[in-house]
Amino acid sequence: MFKKSASFWLTLSLTSLVIPVSLVANNLRVSALENNTVIAQANPCAGKNPCASNNPCAGKNPCAGKNPCAGNNPCAGKSARNVGGPLAKELQGKPVVVDIYASWCPACKNIAPTLSQLKKQYGNKAHFVVFDVSDKAKARQAEARAKQLGLEDFFNANKSQTGSVTIVDPKTGDILSQYRNNNKLSDYTSVLNTAISQK
């Protein structure tokens, strides 16, 4: 009889622990969802391009530090506002469009028509650099090329971000915009037009 009584109380005790833990976890999940909604609504970086010039993220970057812009924002996380300094001499004079590409990447396939259109439209007004990381051999070649172009630090920080396109000011190394899996042509053209007009 003692064995049945002990197992009954053990089961009852464990059940009483599971229910409050489940309730707490559900409440946290609901709070997190509510907080994300508030953050998204108050996000000064929301919109077309949080890293472009006429934008609250430009300059002092409110997306740094405590970061009200966390999430899918290119200003957030590791993404630096500079690639590590001025780029190689061969890239000077025109904005640089850097594409992190892999043949197996669905995002790369999604943005390919947009990049093709950009190359046609800005072929003589911008430099286009593609870092192919489809396999280890191509990634090593891309890394060597990045080093030659002054983009080594950028490449090392972003080589896993396939489907990303970054527009860089070659004189300063500042990142003018950075997108991942974005096929909206106007997002790129607005940044390129501004960069070209300032040259």
Parse the chain into domains and list their residue ranges: 1-42, 89-197
Quote the pLDDT of residue 117: 97
The arithmetic mean of pLDDT across residues 2-19, rounded, is 52
Instruction: Assess contact for 180 and 162: CB atoms under 8 A.
Output: no
Domain 89-197, what fold? Glutaredoxin (3.40.30)
Quote the pLDDT of residue 174: 94
Mean pLDDT of the chain: 73
Residue 54 has pLDDT above 60, yes or no: no
Instruction: Assess contact for 98 and 176: CB atoms under 8 A.
Output: no
Residue 76 has pLDDT above 70, yes or no: no
Helix axes 185-197, 106-122, angle to 10 degrees: 40
Residue 90 has pLDDT above 50, yes or no: yes
Q: In what order do the strands lie in the sheet with 164-168?
A: 127-132, 96-101, 164-168, 175-180
* Residue 198 pLDDT level (bands cut at 50, 70, 90): confident
* Lowest mean pLDDT across 16-25, 96-105, 129-138, 172-181: 16-25
Give the distance between the most distant pair of CA atoms in the chain: 89
Q: Could you tell me which residue, 133 or 29, shows the higher pLDDT?
A: 133
For the chain, report the end-to-end CA distance as a whole number of angstroms.
Answer: 89
Instruction: Assess contact for 176 and 53: CB atoms under 8 A.
Output: yes
